[in-house]
Structures are given as C-alpha cells and as structure tokens.
Structure 1
Amino acid sequence: MQPEDFVFERSIAELQDAMSSGRSTSHALVQAYLRRIAAYDQHGPAVNSIITLNPAAAAQAEALDHERRSGRLRGPLHGIPILLKDNYDTADMPTSGGTPALAGLQPERDAFQVRRLRQAGAVILGKTTMHELACGITNISALTGATRNPYDPGHVPGGSSGGTAVAVAASFAAAGMGSDTCGSIRIPAACQSLVGLRITPGLASRSGIMPLSPSQDVGGPLARTVRDLAIMLDATVGPDPDDPATLAAADHIPPSYLAQLEPDALGGARIGVLPDLFGAQPEELEISDIVRQALAAMRDLGARIVDVHIAGLADMMRNSNVIAHEFKFALAAYLSGQPHAPVKSLAEILRQQRHHEQLDAVLRLRDLPQTPDSPAYDAAQAARHALRAAVTACMQQHRLDALAYPVLRTAPVAIGTPMSGPNSQLSPGTGLPAIAIPAGYTRLGLPVGLELLGRAYGEQSLLNYAAHWELAGGRRRPPPYTPALG
C-alpha cells in the first residue's frame, strides 16, 4: 500500500522507480497529485495555481500503465504527471493566456513542446495560472485572481509563470512548463526555491505558445531538482519546421543533457559577479548579502569568483527590451491562426474592459504602435546588439564561464504591491541562456534566487554548475504551507 502522500517532494527518478518496481502506477500518481491539489490549491492556504484540470488525465495514465505492463517504456517521463502554463496550446483543454477575453479559446492542436512531452510519455495533469497575457511578474489576472506563494500566502509567487512555479514547489506535479520573455521562468523559480532555465532562443520551439515578444520569447521547464530539469529539457528541445529558429539551433543540442550532468563542474569555473545588478537600497541589502554568501560557498566548491564591470550596463538592459514594440502584432498573428478565437486583437481585449485593472496602463501602451517597424523599435534592436557585444566582450576579456547576480533585488513582495525585476532583461536582451537556482532564504523565510548567465548554447554548463551546487547542499527546502498530507 502506498503511503498517504508518497508524491510529496519526490523526483522524477524516484517516481519512475516506484512505477518500475510495481510499488505504484501512473494512475496512482495522478490521484495522489489530485489529492494535494484538492487540499491546498483552493483550500488551506488556497495558493490558487491551477486554472484547468485535465479530465482525461486518469485515463491517459491508465493507458501508459498498460504500455508499461506490455513492455513498452518511452523514457524517463513515462507516466509522469506534469503541468503546463496556460499559454501553451492544448487540443484537449482551453488556452486562456490568463485573460477573460480568451477564456473560451480552444486550440485545434497541441503546442510543439506539448506534443513532445506527450510522445515522451508525460501525463498532462492540467494547466496553471499566469500573469494575465504574461504582462507582469506578480501573477495577477482578471480571470483567476492572485496566485499565492506557498512559502507565505500573503506574498506573490513571481510571474508570469507563477502558477507553474507554485504547483511544482507545492508538489502538485513532478515538474512543469513555463515561458520566459523577461524573467517569467527565472523570477518565479527564485520566488519558489526552484531551478528554472531560460534557454538559448531556438533550442525549443515556440510554436503553439501564446506570444509576448518573438525576439525574446522562449518556453521551458521549472523543476525542484536539476536532474528533473534536464529530463524535461531532453524531452522538449529539438527542431520544428513551424519555428525556423529551431532549425539553426539543432546542431547545438547534445544527445542528452541528463546523461552529461557533472557533479563537480564548479571546480575551476570562472564566474564573474556583476555588482551593478546588486541592490543597495535598505530592502535590497538582505538579498545582496544572501547571494554574496552563496557565491562565497561556490568559491569553497572550487569556483573562481571575480567582480567585473560592464560600462553602461543598466541603460543597455533597459533600452534592449522590445516587448512594447512586438506584443500587439505578435498576439494578433497568433489569434489569426486560431479559428475559434473569441477576439482577434489586443484592441478587442481592451474594448471588452475585462482585463485586470493593474494591467490597463501597460496594455494600452502596448496597443499604441501602428506598424511593426519604427525608429524606436530599430533603436531597441540596436541596444540588444550592443548589450550582447558588451557582455560577450566582458566574458572573453576575463575568460569567464558565467556571470552571476541576484534574480531579483528584493524578496517576493506582498500581494497587491508592485514588484520590479530589472535584472531579468540581461538574458533575453543578449540572447544568452541563464539558470535560476536557490540561494537561500530571508529572515522571514522567503526564497532568494541566484542567476547564472552562460555563453550561447551553454545550457549544459549551466546545468552542471547547478547540479554541483545542488549536490553540495543546495538551498532548497519545501514550502511550509503545503506540507505532506497526513
């Protein structure tokens, strides 16, 4: 007999071992996760991370159990329940983008990465809440309300992939999928003591993911462990003819990120610290101290830690953001490909006046551009090229393997309070990959994240550094408001 809450904090490998040994089944995993969701998502701390549960999940799990009994095993994700951010198209569930205007949108086919996950044997347990239209980092939405942080339900979980992060942190699934345009994987990972990776653009397809900014959008996983992150990455990367950027990146994908994880990669790694990205305000000093302590611990593991400076970094980062120039047109293009879309433009969404009041100003600003090209857009793209050149030159000059800085300069704020995340633009502005890893906790017990930015297609190195950090003790502990069920 399974213990009452045998899925709590369990890794994909542990769940796979339980199924392979006959101690559990995929169907039993689905039921166990559903019990946790029933206990904590709308009850107890009411973290409010799930927008849709897949009514066919149990039947799909049973079919995968039958495959296992018949001798067919698809791989590490066979029978593993996962969750998707609600901007991934799913043919069997609506895709709302977190907005009431699209609550009834039913895509005709799965996003490319969702198809890959199903082919790998994953059970799509459901969809998670998100900051409305991915236009923020506190995870509020007129459709679902506020999502709560299971480390303190009075605080935000980060966003815009906040629902996925909360659900994974609270053991509502083994792992989950988010998207990152300007921090939307890394910020909630930091706020939930998870690992979250923003990939080099092109490694995984964006086809079927509701867009925010094509120049900056990527989709990818969040997980409680680095090995789980690597398993999810292995299942989702690869070329897709519907996303031409993936064709050029195909040669940079190793046979398996999981198989090439190294336990001692920090030994000898040269990591450049960017002091300009550390906060100096009173509310920021505790975060800066925690991240500095984590970097000191990495030095004890053999890393070379050096402070470096990039002239004009803050201005280049701020000026390189192209979301405001691209969102309106990218959303319209996506909706034009959805035969059942209830609206076809951002302007229609605004006319309905059902969006969250906190988004009104930003959405109206993003509806202003009249053409995809403008002098302001050209200037932003030029800033992107300048930023990448400056960062690349710094890494070459100092022979750096990665750059380090806090994911956020402050702790997760109280719900209803604005939160900024300027550091998150460095990765999308340069097109270089970055990983968020747990660095520690504030005096109030809120998680703090450390970000490592690598070289182009340097995902394996970033995963290896994170794996060494995790094996050496890491910093993750489970959220106190969603404990194991009794």
Structure 2
Amino acid sequence: MNPPLAAQESTTVEISPWQASTVADLRHLMNEEILTSEQITQTYLDRIQRYDSAGPRPLNSIVDIDSAAIEHARARDHERRAGRLRGPLHGIPFVVKTNICAAGVPTTAGNLGLATYRPSIDAPVVRELRAAGGIVLATTNMSEFAWHGTFTTSSIRGTTANIFDTACSAGGSSGGSSVAVAAGFAPIALGTDSCGSVVGPAVHAGLVGFRPSSAAVSGAGVVPLSPAQDVVGPIGRTVQDVAEFADLMTGGRHAWLATTRATEPAHLRFAYLTWPFDAIADRGEHSAQLRALADETIAALARDFRITRTELPELDADYACDVLTDSGWTDARASIDLFLARTPARYGPGVNTPHPAFADLVSRTALDRATVERWLAANPLPNAAHDAAAAKQRAGSRALTDLLTRRGVDVLVYPTAADTARPGRAGTAAAGISSNTGAPSVQVPIGTIGGLPVGLTVTAAPGRDHLALAVAAAVEAVVVEPVRPPGLGGNHK
C-alpha cells in the first residue's frame, strides 16, 4: 500500500504518489475515509491541466475531459455515505481511448473530422465499468483510426510523447492511455489492441497491459480498425488491477482475478522465446543488456515459482509470420463506415452530413496517403480476399493451440519489444503471436535500460487468459526494481 495521498499536489519534481497509486490503493483510501472520490477526481483533473500540455515537448495524452466527472464523483460519494456501493470501482476514475464510445465525451478515433462526434451510447465495456461504480474522467489520444503501432499521432491532438523521455515515441496506438496512467492522470485506462496496441504502449510506459482473448470481450461501441483483431484491454500498474478491471468491463463473466489467484504456477510449463531479440537493429551493448535482463528475470521465474521451462523451437520467426497471419487489414474502411452509419450520435457545428464516411474524414488526417488510398480502394465486404485472409487467420489460431497442446506448453514468454523506445518509434517484438490468433497476452515491466523501460509478454492459448495472468503475476513478483516514471514538473527529459 502506498502512503496516503495528499489532496493537494506538491510542486516538487519527485515522483508523485499519484504516479504510483493503483486502483486498490484508491479504493482503500476511500474505504478508510482518507479521501473522497471528488478529491481524487479533482486532483487527477488538476494534474491533467497542469502537466499534459506543459513544456516544450508536451505529453499530449488527453483529448477530451468529461465535464460531468466531478458531478459523478460527488454522486458516488453520496451513495457511499448512504451505504450503497455499486461495485469494486465505486468512485474510481478511469480514462478511455478515444475510439471507445463513452456518452458525454466525443469519440474521435483521433480524427479531426470527428472532433464533435458524440455517440449517445456507452460501449458495453464502458457501461459495465460505470455499473461497477467507475467514473469516466477523459478520453486519450491514439494513432488515428488505431492504424499505427509504433507511435501515437492523430490529427486531433498531435503526437503523444514518451513520459520517460519526451523526445521518444510512446508507442501506439494506445499511447495516450499508457502515458495518462504513467503520468498520474488516472489509475487505469482502456485501450484497444489490434496488433500490439495495448502491450506495446504499456511496455514503453513501464506499465502492465492486458490483451484478453478476442472472443472474451465485446467490441461493440468501438470504432473498428479490423474487427477480426480488435480487442479492448486495460493498461494499469499491476496485474491484479488489470485482471480485476478486465473482469468488470466484461460484467464479471470470466472471473479472471479469482482464477488467476487460484492458479498454482508450479504446475505450469512455459517456453521462453528468444528469437524476437533477432529483430534488434542495434546489436551492441544495448541489446546485450536487454537480453541479460530478460534472461535474469526468466531464471528467477523458474527458480522462485518452480515453473518448468521448456524449449519450443517450432515457434520461430518464420512460423509466426507464415502460420500466425493477420487479417490482411482489408476491412478497415468498410468497418469504419458501417460503425458511423449504425451508431446513434449527434454532431456539433461544421458537420454537414448525418453520417460522415471515412472518405469524408481524410481530407485532414495524420494517416499517410498510401494507407488512405489503399483503404479507399478496398472492395466492399464480403469479398474473396478478405474471406481468404480470415480463413488463414482462423487456421493459424488453431495451429497455435494445437502446438501448445502437443508440446505440453501452458504459456509463452518473450520480450515485449526488441528495443527500447526511440524518437519516432517504439514497437513490439512478436505481438502477432497473440493478435493474429486471438490469444490473450499480458505485458509486465521488468526494468529499465538507459532510463527507458523494457518488459516481457506472457501469452497463453485462446480462452486461457487466467494462465497468462497467473504467470504474469509471477513475473511481476520476481522483478527486483519496480519501474517508476520520472516525476513531472521538470525532471523528465
């Protein structure tokens, strides 16, 4: 438990307690009547106003504030005093990637043309979190239409900076969500992951990111990139927080937190994949440090939790690329158009059509012109090329499950990123293993190299999320030095 938080922010450049507080911490503070939801919510809002746009290289993590957040916090405090708690998130603020519908704030998908696009519905994941007592605080910046996974740049908010070094990329496409949590603007966030877009930004912010199994989470109310791969997932500070948050955003259907706690790691077998290190362009002292830190963590995992380690040479880079294939991304434009046509919403001034289409929105865009032209040229759905890509993807998912079953492997562990963040790029190493198959994956920070965080990802077969979470919690437990972001107010680069 962190020390009690002061209701007023100090001007020191030390790491603020708000940058280290978990959902569990804040729940304790409210249960003990140390702080109210209104005080917590107001402090987060004050921090956003003070730090998100400050300095020569602003963080640019937040897009829109929910103007009703304080009103909702007061209502949760009133309910608490009356003895009526809605659920485990009662009074806890959270932030939402701006492609996820949350009534009361625009859903922009990072596009300037959608700046005033206000769906009148909550996405099911948001509706469930509100039902558990959570408060939508704000929306977060993203790569426009969630397209890019190595940086977060949108036409509506610009580029989100890495909090550990603002000259570097924050990763993408959920970079705004990860930076907002690392900066202490919220204790936890919702992101979306189509190909590493939760786990990637999480590692580069020194946080835990959880991409659940594809079939486990509703994608309704989310501006799509590729429905075959899009998954909503949380980014937070601990495995416990993200497991609980994921439980609640799915209405408690999976009981991931309980089954994770009930899973005995000593009964599991893991395969440590080292081939993603081959993707490191810089193979000097930097890559040696990354490999050594990962090897040290893996050795501690096997020793302290008596998890059996095995080799899995079949799952190499060629297998991952040839067998575990993606959706082809042929459905982006058609899926976006369908979403905009079917989602009840209202628009602000300057929007001349009741249902703008993708073609109407890309006259001013952060998407590169080649991507725009490729999406516009894509055939309507269904079409043969997309059907073939989907069939190959389903076959890859079965192949991964069959391989793990045949070899008796419960989880895969591998470096989340093959390098630390750089200016203009902060990617992932082997995110396709999970995103191309619908398998669950959990990123856990394991340390820093050159002041920038690195981590390991744990992946299980589709539907076995609790195994990935259980081993991720074991990884978290063996990390010697917790990864902490720099304090705001002057000492971040």
Work out whether the TM-score is over 0.5.
Answer: yes
Cα distance change on mapping 1:407 and 1:26 into 2, 3 Å: same
Match of 1:450 among 447, 453, 456: 456
Match of 1:426 among 425, 428, 433: 433
Q: Is residue 74 from structure 1 mapped to residue 74 from structure 2 by the alignment?
A: no
Cα distance change on mapping 1:397 and 1:168 into 2, 3 Å: same
Cα distance change on mapping 1:420 and 1:166 into 2, 3 Å: closer
1:39 is displaced (CA, Å) by: 2.7
Q: How does 1:295-314 map to 2 (within 5 A)?
A: 295-301=298-304, 302-310=306-314, 312-314=318-320
For residue 266 of structure 2, what is the aligned residue in structure 1?
267
Q: Is the CA contact 2:94–2:189 (under 8 Å) kept in the aligned structure 1?
A: yes
Q: How does 1:149-298 map to 2 (within 5 A)?
A: 149-238=162-251, 253-254=254-255, 257-262=256-261, 265-279=264-278, 281-283=280-282, 285-286=287-288, 287-298=290-301
For residue 417 of structure 2, what is the aligned residue in structure 1?
408
1:59 is displaced (CA, Å) by: 1.0
Match of 2:103 among 91, 95, 102: 91
Work out the CA distance in 1 between the residues paired with 2:213 and 2:405. Answer: 18
Cα distance change on mapping 1:20 and 1:419 into 2, 3 Å: closer
Q: Is residue 110 from structure 1 mapped to residue 122 from structure 2 by the alignment?
A: yes
Match of 2:477 among 468, 471, 474: 471
Q: Is the CA contact 1:317–1:425 (under 8 Å) kept in the aligned structure 2?
A: no
Q: Is the CA contact 1:275–1:309 (under 8 Å) kept in the aligned structure 2?
A: no
Gaps of 5+ in 1: 240-249
Q: Is the CA contact 2:212–2:441 (under 8 Å) kept in the aligned structure 1?
A: yes
Work out the CA distance in 1 between the residues paired with 2:134 and 2:475. Answer: 28
Work out the CA distance in 2 between the residues paired with 1:326 and 1:270. Answer: 37
SS of 2:215 mapped into structure 1: coil
For residue 376 of structure 2, what is the aligned residue in structure 1?
367
> TM-score, with normalisation over the residues of structure 1?
0.89
1:208 is displaced (CA, Å) by: 0.6
Work out the CA distance in 1 between the residues paired with 2:75 and 2:378. Answer: 49
> TM-score, with normalisation over the residues of structure 2?
0.88
Code of the residue aligned with 1:62 in structure 2: it is R
Work out the CA distance in 2 between the residues paired with 1:483 and 1:431. Answer: 40
Q: Is the CA contact 1:98–1:133 (under 8 Å) kept in the aligned structure 2?
A: yes
Work out the CA distance in 1 between the residues paired with 2:44 and 2:426. Answer: 31
Gaps of 5+ in 2: 10-16
Match of 2:444 among 437, 450, 455: 437
Q: Is the CA contact 2:128–2:251 (under 8 Å) kept in the aligned structure 1?
A: no
User: Structure 1, residues 180-221: CA drift from partner, whole Å, max 9, x if none?
Assistant: 111111111111111111111222211111111111111121
1:228 is displaced (CA, Å) by: 1.1
Code of the residue aligned with 1:105 in structure 2: it is Y
Q: Is the CA contact 2:168–2:421 (under 8 Å) kept in the aligned structure 1?
A: yes
Select between 282-291 and 462-471 the one with higher mean Cα deviation.
282-291
Q: Is the CA contact 1:12–1:76 (under 8 Å) kept in the aligned structure 2?
A: no
Identical amino acids, percent of aligned pairs:
32
Cα distance change on mapping 1:220 and 1:474 into 2, 3 Å: farther
Q: Is the CA contact 2:441–2:458 (under 8 Å) kept in the aligned structure 1?
A: yes
Work out the CA distance in 1 between the residues paired with 2:60 and 2:138. Answer: 13
SS of 1:153 mapped into structure 2: strand
Select between 468-477 and 78-87 the one with higher mean Cα deviation.
468-477
**Aligned CA-pair RMSD:** 2.4
SS of 2:309 mapped into structure 1: strand
For residue 140 of structure 1, what is the aligned residue in structure 2?
153
